Amino acid sequence: AQSVTQLDSQVPVFEEAPVELRCNYSSSVSVYLFWYVQYPNQGLQLLLKYLSGSTLVESINGFEAEFNKSQTSFHLRKPSVHISDTAEYFCAVSETGANNLFFGTGTRLTVIP
C-alpha cells in the first residue's frame, strides 16, 4: 500500500525568499508522483508531475520538484516566492496500472509581504 508524508503542515515564508515543501512516499511498486495546488475555496490544480525520464520536473510558474528514488522523496521548491503562491500544496502518488491518487495531508504555504 502507498502512503505519502508531508512533514510540514504549515510553511510561512517571506516574499521573494526560497521555499522547499517536503514530500516522502512509500510504495512497493513503481509510482507516478504529483504536486497539486489548492487556492482558497477552489478545487485542486496540477502543478507538476513526474512520470519517467529526467528526475527534475518544472512547472510554468517557477516551481520545480526532483524525484529521488533512493530517498523516496519528491520535494517541491521555488527559488523566489510571490504573494500569489499562498495556497495549500498536496503531494500525491499513483501506482502504475491504477488510477487512484493517494494524497499527503497537505502543506499550507503562506507568503508574507
Partner 1 sequence: DTAVSQTPKYLVTQMGNDKSIKCEQNLGHDTMYWYKQDSKKFLKIMFSYNNKELIINETVPNRFSPKSPDKAHLNLHINSLELGDSAVYFCASSQDRGVRGRGETQYFGPGTRLLVL
Q: Which spans of this chain sit near partner 1 (rule: CB under 8 A)? A: 32, 34, 36, 41-46, 49, 51, 88, 90, 94-103, 105-106, 108
CB atoms within 10 A of CB 44: 18
The cell for 43 is 478545487
Looking at beta carbons only, is 54 or 100 nearer to partner 1? 100
Looking at beta carbons only, is 46 or 56 nearer to partner 1? 46
Looking at beta carbons only, is 106 or 111 nearer to partner 1? 106
How far, CA to CA in Å, does 62 sit from each of 9, 12, 15, 21, 103? Answer: 22, 18, 14, 14, 22
Q: Report, in Å, the least distance between residue 3 CB and partner 1.
A: 12
